[in-house]
């Protein structure tokens, strides 16, 4: 990867590499765009095969956060962080406190949160060193685990797609294939089963599958078989790139609506879905519930307000479907255009976010 040319091409403002020799911590923060406000996006921890793989992931994810926050109507830019490490071996209080010190050094241009393989306890350790973190425990004024809200937003997006496709948002007579039953996927399965819908599930973790089957009455299928079920709706809730040239021909669904980031491997795949009449709910639109929820912490967390704003994903999705139909565009392009339009219009009255002068309060640094 040609680093500078890639960053320029993708439009990033800043990419920062962090390393703690004593703790073995290696992390990357990518700030994509701060036109709408400071960059907000989660921190994921994975044992990446190479630094290049980690860099590509954080660049792509941070760009997605810019679009997600813009379409969700948040006054926040897009950013993301990745920690290169094994979450089963490398986690410790010191590890995440060191990461928190790195985040603090950015002066508020980036706000971190939970993501893949990071949790509320990790955010609490980060919070010991910086105020630029959300998704912290309620005891500190935070909202805690955002995954139920990500699942709720995904459900609202599914309802919008079903109503658009079939004329009613009743899910009880439909079938779903949920790929990945981690924090978000398992909540989504629960919500779907509560409507009476039939749900197929798979996951690389057999224990998660077993728990979901026993707890919610879902039906387990193999990792490859999940694409070929008779489910009307396919819900990718694992890692990205699951909709690609290899899996496309296996799909029998009529709607793709899930919580995973970067579900389409390329734009060409999105175009092909449109040609085949498969309704695709843009990933960063439908999975915005979690970031909407944690963003409210910055004004003083209120669960009722968070639920109300996450429910609006239904209307946002319906708006995208309507424009896409009217203009003859794939839904993913329509969502991109809406995000870009908002950034352009708001950018005329705002400038990219710069760190404010920091002042210590009670031993902590806050923005003034």
DSSP per-residue codes, 134-149 = -S--GGGT-----HHH
CA distance 126 to 290: 19
Averaged pLDDT for residues 143-163: 97
Q: Count of CB atoms within 10 A of residue 106's CB?
A: 22
Per-chain mean pLDDT for the chain: 93
80 catalytic, yes or no? Answer: yes
Query: What three-state secondary structure class fits 209?
Result: helix
- Give the H/E segment covering residue 272: helix 267-275
pLDDT at 357 over 50: no
In this prediction the pTM is 0.89
pLDDT band at residue 355 under the 50/70/90 scheme: low
CA neighbor of 158 nearest in space, from 317, 357, 362, 306:
317
- pLDDT value, residue 353: 63
CA distance 98 to 78: 23
pLDDT tens-digit series, residues 179-226: 999 999 999 999 999 999 999 999 999 999 999 999 999 999 999 999
Per annotation, catalytic residue among 80, 198, 232, 333:
80
Residues constituting the chain: 368
CA distance 184 to 119: 12
Half-sphere exposure of 32 (CA within 13 A, CB side): 29
pLDDT band at residue 347 under the 50/70/90 scheme: confident
pLDDT band at residue 352 under the 50/70/90 scheme: low
Residue with tokens 């971190």: 112
């Amino acid at each position: 990867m040609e680093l500078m040319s890639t960053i320029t091409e993708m439009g990033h403002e800043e990419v920062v590499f962090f390393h703690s020799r004593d703790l073995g911590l290696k992390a990357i923060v990518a700030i994509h765009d701060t036109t709408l406000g400071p960059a907000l996006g989660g921190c994921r921890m994975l044992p990446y095969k190479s630094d290049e793989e980690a860099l590509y992931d954080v660049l792509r994810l941070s760009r997605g956060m810019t679009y997600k926050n813009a379409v969700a109507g948040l006054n926040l830019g897009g950013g993301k962080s990745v920690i290169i490490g094994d979450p089963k071996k490398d986690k410790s209080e010191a590890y995440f406190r060191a990461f928190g010190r790195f985040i603090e050094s950015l002066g508020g241009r980036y706000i971190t949160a939970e993501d893949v393989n990071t949790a509320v306890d990790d955010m609490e350790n980060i919070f010991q060193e910086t105020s630029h973190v959300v998704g912290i425990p309620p005891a500190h004024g935070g909202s805690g685990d955002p995954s139920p809200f990500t699942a709720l937003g995904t459900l609202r997006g599914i309802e919008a797609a079903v109503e658009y496709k079939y004329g009613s948002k009743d899910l009880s007579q439909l079938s779903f294939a949920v790929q990945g039953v981690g924090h978000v996927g398992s909540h989504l399965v629960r919500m779907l089963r509560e409507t009476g819908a039939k749900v197929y599930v798979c996951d690389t973790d057999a224990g998660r599958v077993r728990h979901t089957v026993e707890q919610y009455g879902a039906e387990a299928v193999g990792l490859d078989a999940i694409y070929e079920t008779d489910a009307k709706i396919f819900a990718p809730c694992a890692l990205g790139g699951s909709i690609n040239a290899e899996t496309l021909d296996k799909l029998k669904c009529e709607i793709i609506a899930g919580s995973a980031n970067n579900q389409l491997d390329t734009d060409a795949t999105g175009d092909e879905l449109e040609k085949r009449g498969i309704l695709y709910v843009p990933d960063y639109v439908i999975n915005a519930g979690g970031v909407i929820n944690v963003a409210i912490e910055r004004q003083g967390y209120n669960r009722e307000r968070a639920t109300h704003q996450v429910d609006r994903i239904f209307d946002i999705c319906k708006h995208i479907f309507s424009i896409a139909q009217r203009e003859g565009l794939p839904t993913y392009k329509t969502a991109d255009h809406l995000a870009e339009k908002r950034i352009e219009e708001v950018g005329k009255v705002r400038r990219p976010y710069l760190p404010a002068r920091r002042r210590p309060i009670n031993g902590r640094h806050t923005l003034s």
